[in-house]
Amino acid sequence: MKIASPRGTKDIFGDEMRLWHKIESTVKSVADDFMLEEIRTPIFEHTELFLRGVGETTDIVQKEMYTFMDKGDRSITLRPEGTAGAARSYIENGMGNLPQPVKLYYFGPMFRYEKMQAGRQRQFHQFGMEIFGSPKPAADAEVISVAKELLERLGIKNISLKINSLGCKECRSRYNAALKEFIGNNLSGLCEDCRERFEKNPLRVLDCKEEKCKTILADAPLMLDYLDEECREHFDELQEILTAMGIDFEIDPKIVRGLDYYTKTVFEFVAGNIGAQSTVCGGGRYDGLLEEVGGKPTPAAGFGLGIERLILMLKADGLDEGEKKKADIFVGSIGKAGSIKAQVLTLELRKKGIAAECDTMGRSVKAQMKYADKLGVRFSLIIGDDEVEKGIVALKDMSEGTKADVSFDEIYGKIKELS
């Protein structure tokens, strides 16, 4: 019986892997320029981290997490997002004692059991960053500028930034009361999920994607109308900084986050070229998270960007994977002695930084040359018994169609000279 990959996962190889390499190298470049330190947290954590950090009323916790009991009878969860793990690491490793802010980034797989859609896998990958320690709108603006810079360096067009504020706990408490009254008067027309969310976290109802719910909720009260003076000033200053930085934005009072730890600033980068699943990057501020997962009160902000969604955007914009790496030289052979010498020479050239390939299939010389053509090599040679005995071989320049007799020791220098 043929065994297929689990639903919601995929193999990454060939042309697509080159696109991944392009994204990864761009991520590293942006991170270095913004002085972000890489962090690699475990792929699985104690389930309690996500119950406390992400929120028990979220769809992630209630429906999507991959949770199991390990051999020590402990509840373990494959990480569904990166921020909770980074926060746990900040606390556990005493990063609060470092000069603040601490700026971290990660790139790796996450796991959610959710409905399959374009650009959405059950094992998916995220680039994310976190700034711990700064309560200022300047940190929010820096987070946003990292995401924008990455998208720009990748050459992505047709994106827009939307921002909102969820206020602090006190603002949300007042807003939740008004929202709950509005939703309560319209509860019968909402979907089953919304009716369940209504009892536990009415703000989550605003995130519903059902059209009938979106229509009803279009007239819901807006969070921005319930901000206190401090939260309003924070949001206004963020807008002032973004404007000064030349970052265009639109205020969208309907933006909410599916994770409970967000406070004040929330934002999304939205693409206009990948259909309904248009949000490529989402983030904001979450000043209460570290205290929630056992640390001292610590302000924080960050974002997560889905790589699979990003690839959809790159392809929609016609940005390809780039050219496949070509070998510099193909070392062909005839007979056993020639084959062994070819492998020895190939290794010597590789150690000197030459991309070299040789035959390991036992092909005929004609088949080897066809293979060399497919590789697109610049140089080729054939080693047989005579070449082994004399130590001299004909090096062919495939682009010029010329040949030069060189010793084995001279091959590297000749390639560098002609390249």
Q: What is the pLDDT of residues 364-406, one digit of tens each?
A: 999 999 999 999 999 999 999 999 999 999 999 998 889 999 9
Q: Burial of 140 by CB count in 10 Å (0-12 exposed, 13-18 middle, 19+ buried)?
A: buried
Q: Tell me, what's the pLDDT at 312?
A: 86
Torsion of CA 334, 335, 337, 341, to 10 degrees: 30
Q: Tell me, what's the pLDDT at 406?
A: 95
Residues of the chain with pLDDT under 70: 56-59, 118-119, 258-260, 273-277, 320-323
Residue 227 gets the label, from left (phi > 0), alpha (psi -120 to 50) or beta, of beta
Domains of the chain, start order: 14-165+248-316 (3.30.930.10), 169-227 (no CATH), 329-418 (3.40.50.800)
Q: Tell me, what's the pLDDT at 277?
A: 52
3-state secondary structure (DSSP) of residue 291: helix
Measured CA to CA, the distance from residue 129 to residue 146 in angstroms comes to 9
Q: Tell me, what's the pLDDT at 59?
A: 64
Residue pLDDT, tens place only, 229-287 = 999 999 999 999 999 999 999 999 988 775 667 899 999 999 876 555 578 899 999 99
